[in-house]
Amino acid sequence: MKNIYRIKNFPVSFFSVVMGLGGLSIVVQKMVEIFSLCNFWIEVSAIFTLSIFLIIAAFYSRKAVFHFKEVKKEFRHPIKINFFPTIAISLLLLSVIFLEINVVFAKYLWLFGTGLQLIFALMIISAWINQRHFDIKHINPSWFIPAVGNILVPIAGIQFVANDILWLFFSAGLFFWIILMPVFFNRMFFFDQLPEKLLPTLFILLAPPAIGFVSYVKLTGNFNDFARTLYFFGMFLSLLLLLQIKYLSKIKFYLSWWAYSFPIAALAVSNALMYKLSTNIFYKYLLLTLFIILLLLVVFLTLRTIKAITRKEICIEE
């Protein structure tokens, strides 16, 4: 009975674990390419990430079957609703990962992930417009997740469909990111601080410009001033967040700590692309530094999450 009860409280935000692992897998691919490492690690990281996705998807599917009311509650929640696109983003990341291994499988992952992303993006933005119980204090970095999903679509999609479809997603994601930025900073400057549980989500701010840089270059083939603006704005935000590390490290462990991992991975991938485009060795070693940080972080988060599960600190009634 206790296990059934915990399934009832299994959060959709658990898919952020897959995002972190998926981001690491893509960075591993870049490390293998740039530093001529063994290809073995590409397949290991890909299979591990896919396995974790299937496990989490199985648990959440069981929740949807036996506790559908709880899923509806999450979707109506002003904060939890924004984590539903993490399912689609996980599939899109897996499609990027498997491009190097099995293109056909990657295509199906991309098609399914893109379809889900479109559905979630439209439903969530509609909820923002129509719901009257949302308040300015509900604004937090998780509101950027739908935008991140849209911006991510072209990275693997460039292999499969016409550019016009990809521009639809990229432009929607980019402009909703731009629109949400002043709303978010207005909330941060003039209202109460974010709840402790949501503080790690500040790192989500890194994802749109970092992924946007990669996606834009993929779409256009151009390394122009707009591409540089996206990259360097991401770097500026990373320096800003670096100043918050001392404070963030003191907060209690929550599943939201996984929000550190994917944005750092996105930053690392943007540096890998920056190195390829500029051939400046600085970006190569910045990539190496970010990879080491990300690897240690993911190992720590994995062990800490396992510990939290065994201690029944997560998947509990809030």
Q: What is the pLDDT of residues 148-159, one digit of tens each?
A: 999 999 999 999
Q: Which domains does the chain have, with CATH numbers?
A: 2-310 (1.50.10.150)
Q: CA-CA distance, 14 to 3, in Å (whole number)?
A: 16
pLDDT of residue 88 exceeding 70, the answer is yes
User: What span, in angstroms and rounded, lies between the C-alpha atoms of 96 and 103?
Assistant: 9
pLDDT at 1 over 50: no
**Token pair of 78, please?**
């002003």
Q: Which pTM does this prediction carry?
A: 0.95
**Is 282 a residue whose pLDDT tops 50?**
yes
Separation of alpha carbons 27 and 147, rounded Å: 21
- Summarised one tens digit per residue, pLDDT across range 109-133 is 999 999 999 999 999 999 888 876 7
Residue given tokens 């949302």 in the structure block = 134
Helix axes 85-98, 15-35, angle to 10 degrees: 20
Closest CA to 155 of 116, 112, 110: 110
